[in-house]
């Protein structure tokens, strides 16, 4: 995922600030050799004050025309060949089939105890998929029930799916107790902005409202779901039906106990990692759990920074 050596056009140095901002968007998605439409570039722009029509004219007829390649409705940088468009269209066709499977799996996940919302993440949430890619889900859980919920779902995958994660990849859990994402950079903002709600849109909307900081990166971003009433949040969960405070306290303690057990498991399994690396890849807190074997975030941000330097574009690409 490293950036190739590029022959940067001299005209880059004469770009105005808003033109450089357009280029920043294309440079980020160039990491994935992913061409963008004008509408997509607009949604990821770090500034307001331009319409999609004006942006299209800027790309096709302005100074950016000497730097940005276009074909049909797509725009991309010279470091990606024209085949990137056919590659994207192929992945879109494959994604259409995967999305139907993802919707069914998400509704199944929603039947498990303490699940509040199921959102599509990863490659498929951006409308593309390959034969090798998994279907990734982000799950919102009830407060103080994250680790119970996670354990039940992972046990189901191990026992009934023989640990196959192809259609059941659960790497990210977050509790409704604290929905705000702490790490704030262009990578996390992009991943949040592209999440797709598949089960319980009401809880998804709460999650998005808790993370409106992504508008600091993408002020043109809007989610049509935020202002809409979602599905009713059903009062499931054994302790709610029973109304017994004793059971609630037992489940609170069980959740805390499971969190400690997961932390110990990851410490043993990934003893070769430093404590900092392990904490970064396998977040183990009361309101969040992540388990990523590969540190894609670090790699992508490093590749993005390199591309910005190659094009002589400065400015903060993350705001922690």
Residues 211-236: pLDDT tens digits? Answer: 999 999 999 998 655 544 444 444 45
Name which of 1, 223, 241 is nearest 113 in CA terms. Answer: 241
Which CATH code is given to the segment(s) 10-84+300-310?
Answer: 1.10.10
- Residue 223 and residue 192 in contact, taking contact as beta carbons nearer than 8 Å: no
* Torsion angle, alpha carbons of 200, 202, 203, 208, to 10: 120
SS3 250: helix
Residues 11-61: pLDDT tens digits? Answer: 677 789 999 999 999 999 999 999 999 999 999 999 999 999 999 999 999
What is the C-alpha separation between 200 and 140, in angstroms, rounded?
Answer: 10
Residues 73-112: pLDDT tens digits? Answer: 999 999 888 899 999 999 999 999 999 999 999 999 999 9
| pTM value > 0.85 | yes
Residue 175 DSSP class = E
- Least confident span in 162-166, 200-204, 316-320: 316-320
Name which of 302, 300, 298 is nearest 276 in CA terms. Answer: 298
Give pLDDT, residue 314.
73
Domain ranges in the chain are 10-84+300-310
Name which of 298, 319, 100, 65 is nearest 217 in CA terms. Answer: 319
What is the C-alpha separation between 68 and 75, in angstroms, rounded?
Answer: 7
Q: What mean pLDDT is predicted for residues 181-190?
A: 96
For the chain, what is the total number of helices (H) and then of strands (E)?
Answer: 11, 8
SS3 84: helix
Element housing 209 (H / E): helix 201-209
The answer to whether the Cα torsion of 70, 76, 82, 84 is positive or negative is negative
Name which of 214, 196, 177, 174 is nearest 119 in CA terms. Answer: 196
**What are the DSSP calls for 273-306, one per residue?**
S-HHHHHHHS-EETTEEE--SS-HHHHHHHHHHH
What is the C-alpha separation between 36 and 25, in angstroms, rounded?
Answer: 9
């Amino acid at each position: 995922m490293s950036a190739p050596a590029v022959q940067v056009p001299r005209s880059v140095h004469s770009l105005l600030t808003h033109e450089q901002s357009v280029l920043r968007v294309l440079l980020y998605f160039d990491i994935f050799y992913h061409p963008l439409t004008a509408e997509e570039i607009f949604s990821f722009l770090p500034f307001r004050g331009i319409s999609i029509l004006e942006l299209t004219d800027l790309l096709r007829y302005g100074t950016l025309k000497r730097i940005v390649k276009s074909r049909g409705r797509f725009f991309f940088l010279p470091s990606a060949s024209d085949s990137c468009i056919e590659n994207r269209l192929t992945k879109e066709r494959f994604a259409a089939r995967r999305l139907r499977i993802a919707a069914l799996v998400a509704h199944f996940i929603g039947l498990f105890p303490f699940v509040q919302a199921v959102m599509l993440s990863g490659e498929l949430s951006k409308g593309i998929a390959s034969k090798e890619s998994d279907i990734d889900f982000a799950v919102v859980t009830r407060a103080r029930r994250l680790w119970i919920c996670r354990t039940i779902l992972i046990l189901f995958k191990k026992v009934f799916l023989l640990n196959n994660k192809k259609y059941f990849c659960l790497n990210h859990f977050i509790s409704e107790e604290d929905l705000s994402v702490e790490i704030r950079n262009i990578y996390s903002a992009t991943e949040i902005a592209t999440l797709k709600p598949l089960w319980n849109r009401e809880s998804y909307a709460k999650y998005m409202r808790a993370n409106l900081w992504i508008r600091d990166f993408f002020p043109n971003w809007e989610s049509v779901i935020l202002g809409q009433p979602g599905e009713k949040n059903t009062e499931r969960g054994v302790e709610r039906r029973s109304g017994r405070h004793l059971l609630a306290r037992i489940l609170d303690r069980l959740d805390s106990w499971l969190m400690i057990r997961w932390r110990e498991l990851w410490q043993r399994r990934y003893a070769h990692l430093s404590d900092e690396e392990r904490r970064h890849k396998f977040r183990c807190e009361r309101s969040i759990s992540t388990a990523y074997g590969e540190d894609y975030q670090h790699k992508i941000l490093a590749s993005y920074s390199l591309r910005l330097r190659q094009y002589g574009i400065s400015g903060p690409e993350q705001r922690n």
